[in-house]
Structure formats: structure tokens, C-alpha cells
Amino acid sequence: VQLQASGGGLVQAGGSLRLSCAASGPTFSRYTMTWFRQAPGKERDFVAAFRGSRNTPHYADSVKGRFTISRDTAKNTVYLQMNSLKPDDTAVYYCAADTTGRMILSTMWNPSAYENWGQGTLVTVSS
């Protein structure tokens, strides 16, 4: 599956951005779609996800209440609405997909569990 991420940019602290990730494939609604981020010199961290066809979103504690993940199955696209941005949110944001339909919660947070990645989009939050 191919993933195309977009929507990054430069924003002041307190501002908002919406990231998009368009996916190919006929069974998008069954994919686990996940956003990760990687700040300079740091590991790639989980941000938010939909696991398979389940409608319950999952969030990292650091973004709960500020970020919202959503998906449009008609457009094969997952979004990440980011509000109240902080300088600590500065990172390259990546979307990832698991197409097996067998993703489990204990591994959903782990970048190594994904074989399909978008190219990344840079988000810079200035103070």
C-alpha cells in the first residue's frame, strides 16, 4: 500500500494544523492507520491510531485533548487535527499502515510493527 502524507508547516505555539494521509488499496477501512512523530535526535513515537475497522481512536498521553484522529473511508484518507500546538510537538510526522487486519493493542504503539510508511511531513511549532 502507498501512503502520501501532507499538511505540515510552520505554526506559532497555540495554533493548529491538519495533517492528511491518503492510502491506496481496496480495504482501507480495515487497515490500522497510525500517526507517529520523530523529533530531531529522538526515537519515533506513537501519536494516534485507529486499529483496524474499530472506531475507537487511541492517543498518546502527550496529545490527548489536543489532537484528533479521523478517517474518511470514501477518500481512503486519515487525518490528524492538531490544536493548541506546543514547541514540543515539533517533529516529522509519519503515517503508517498495517494491512493485515491482525494488529493487536500491545504492538500498535511500536513503529517496528508497521511495514507501510508515508514519506513524513515536517511540523514546526515556534514559541
User: Is the Cβ–Cβ distance between 51 and 58 less than 8 Å?
Assistant: yes
| C-alpha distances in Å from residue 80, one per residue of 41, 72, 85, 100 | 23, 12, 12, 22
Reference 59, options 77, 82, 91; nearest CA is: 82
Task: Quickly tell me which residue has 487525518 as its cell.
Answer: 79
Q: Which pLDDT tens digits describe the chain residue by residue (127 residues)?
A: 999 999 999 999 999 999 999 999 788 888 999 999 999 999 999 999 999 888 899 999 999 999 999 999 999 999 999 999 999 999 999 999 999 988 999 999 999 999 999 999 999 999 9
CA–CA distance, 90 with 71 (Å, rounded to integer):
23
